[in-house]
Structure 1
Amino acid sequence: MQLPVQSQSPIFAESWEAGAGPEDLLAVARAADRLGFAYIASCDHVAIPRRLADAMGTVWYDPVATLSYLAAATERVLLLSHVAVAGLRHPLITAKQYATLDRLSGGRLVLGVGAGHVQEEFEALGVEFGARGAVLDETVDALKAALGPSQYAEFGGERFAFSGLAQSPRPARTPRPPIWVGGSSPAAVRRAAVRGDGWLPQGDRRDQLPAKIAKLRGLREAAGVADPMAIGAITEVLYVGEPSWEVGRRTLRGKPEAIAESLRAYGAMGVHQIQVRFRSRDRSELLGQMEAFAAEVAPGLDAV
């Protein structure tokens, strides 16, 4: 699940998150760890321009700092950047940060990356916005080298090149932490197919996913990439049980077995992991929803 509090766009944040803080993040992360959730995720934006502040909000915690903080309070749950706008930073900087996080967490990092969409962020940091796709392609290739087995990684590309430079500590995960590519544009799907260890679609409806997954697999096969990949999906917003308040007509709600039956459709499409989000009016209700999902819905999902 994507963590609450750490990103507060009015599009998806609950009203109680505006007054929440680190203790709330900690409680949710510990619950996810205890209840068997696969990963907790944190977003990435460096700065939000005024023109987007109303739509996006301005609260965006740094993912490396946030996940590192939560790594010390959890034991088994994976730590996902969903997604790091990796093209905003030199790949050696990104590798240093996330390799350290992987080492500190005992090998629990999943590095999710995406191209980004806020032009002002790129301009402020001196990165060409129009070339962000090509920059991310090369960045992913460079990160595979920098996060790999050798502390003296070597890479030579059009924008980045390094050799003879040691980076330690190395990641705990071998041969390297997985890199999942986020996004649903044709370029993002191609990037995930050719370069990714996993795909994190963004905003696709259920009826759109089968064609996207087929395209992804076709591109991967055509590129000669035989390694398995983790295909993800973001589900509808959930509420386990019958709510006593208005949760929105698009919320998947009701009896646990009915929710489980609905979510099993994702597995039938070829999805390997689902990211869930729950409606809630406060932290207590969110934790209750997580408990109910883990106890009453998750056992009814087919293992993949």
Structure 2
Amino acid sequence: MSYGIQLPVQSQSTLYTEAWETGAGPEDLVAVARAADAAGFAYIACCDHVAVPRRLAPVMSTVWYDPVATLAHLAAVTERVRLLSHVAVVGLRHPLLTAKQYATLDQLSGGRLVLGVGAGHVREEFEALHVDFERRGAVLDEVMDALRAALGPEEFPEHHGKLYDFADLGQRPRPAQEHVPVWVGGSSPAAVRRAALKGDGWLPQGDPRERLPAQIARLKALREEAGIEAPCTIGAIAEPLYVGRPGWNPGRRTLTGPPEEIAESLRAYRALGVDQIQVRFRSRSRAELTDQMAAFGAEVAPDL
């Protein structure tokens, strides 16, 4: 079972941001990305919001780094770790624009892109960019089809749909990967169905452990009914972690303790059918976070 991490600093919702992140910046992102690379993390991930309305800013904040720019910057200072958009609200942009950005990122990084996509949830963001919020699911479905074409091997991709129609328009550089994996984020019935029928992977958004078996069973049943035999990478977001016994209160939901106890708890995800877990560490500083990441890679990961 592989493990990845949503980067700190680049999004600062009050739901998960640690206090030290509010004063952090690019040098901290670089340090965390390098720590992930060194500790065997499968990916580092970056979120996507174009603009946050004033009514949501007290909870969401307005700090949301652009995922393409951020991941490209971090690609240049890492060697192995993959680069995940978790998730890109690709319905907000024309698919040819999205394809140009992410194909370039994949080429520059040597084929390390994983394109995570989601439908989005902020109405004002859609309205400002003149995209139909009520039909965002249908928009995402077509954009995914268009991106399959535009991120494929053809220099002149072709797509003819209800919303987007293009042909005879060349785009280079092509992605370095022959097939860019597309993971679908979301836990609604529509998101699970989209992941099953259109995705290479599923990124549930905070499903507790007890909900995962039914969700995974439904996803697999949908793929079987559709005759899809290709593997699908099943993800999960683990509880907050702290390797060892903290001398401070990391929160009631945090998994703490010796590495072997944490590994035992996380192995239960694998038994549920999960292929990769996204982990998050409680921390009071960048140094504490990178120390936690190193301890996880060295002492927990071998037992996963």
TM-score by length of 1: 0.98
Corresponding letter in the other structure for 1:194: L
The answer for the alignment partner of 1:35 in structure 2 is 39
| One-letter amino acid matched to 2:255 | L
In structure 1, distance between residues paired with 2:86 and 2:155: 26
Residue 297 of structure 2 is aligned to residue 294 of structure 1 = yes
Aligned residue among 249, 256, 270 for 1:267: 270
Partner of 1:155: 159
- Structure 1 unaligned residues grouped into runs of 5+: none
User: Which residue does the alignment assign to 2:279?
Assistant: 276
Aligned residues: 300
Root-mean-square deviation (Å): 0.5
Report the equivalent of 2:215.
Answer: 212
Q: Alignment identity in percent?
A: 72
- Please list every run of at least 4 consecutive aligned residues from structure 1 whose deviation after the TM superposition is greater than 3 angstroms: none
Give the structure, 1 or 2, with the largest relative contact order (CA under 8 Å, sep 6 or more). Answer: 2
Deviation of residue 220 (structure 1)? Answer: 1.0
Amino acid at match of 1:205: P
| Equivalent in 90, 97, 105 of residue 94 of structure 2 | 90
AA matched with 1:241: G
Indicate yes or no: 2:69 matched with 1:57: no
**What's the counterpart of residue 17 of structure 2?**
13
2:137 and 2:192 map into 1 onto residues whose CA distance is 12
Structure 2: gaps (5+ residues): none
Q: Which of 219, 225, 234 is equivalent to 2:237?
A: 234
Q: Is residue 78 of structure 2 the alignment partner of residue 78 of structure 1?
A: no
SS in structure 2 of the partner of residue 165 of structure 1: coil
Distance across 2 between alignment mates of 1:145 and 1:221: 24
Question: What residue number does 2:127 align with?
Answer: 123
Distance 1:151 1:64 in 2: 21
Q: Distance in 1 between matches of 2:218 and 2:266?
A: 22
Equivalent position SS for 1:130: coil
Counterpart residue type for residue 188 of structure 2: S
Question: What's the TM-score, normalizing by structure 2?
Answer: 0.98
Aligned residue number for residue 7 of structure 2: 3
Match of 2:49 among 45, 51, 54: 45
Q: CA deviation at 1:188?
A: 0.2
The DSSP-based 3-state class of the residue aligned with 2:74 is helix
Cα distance in 2, alignment partners of residues 12 and 250 from structure 1: 12
SS at match of 1:231: strand
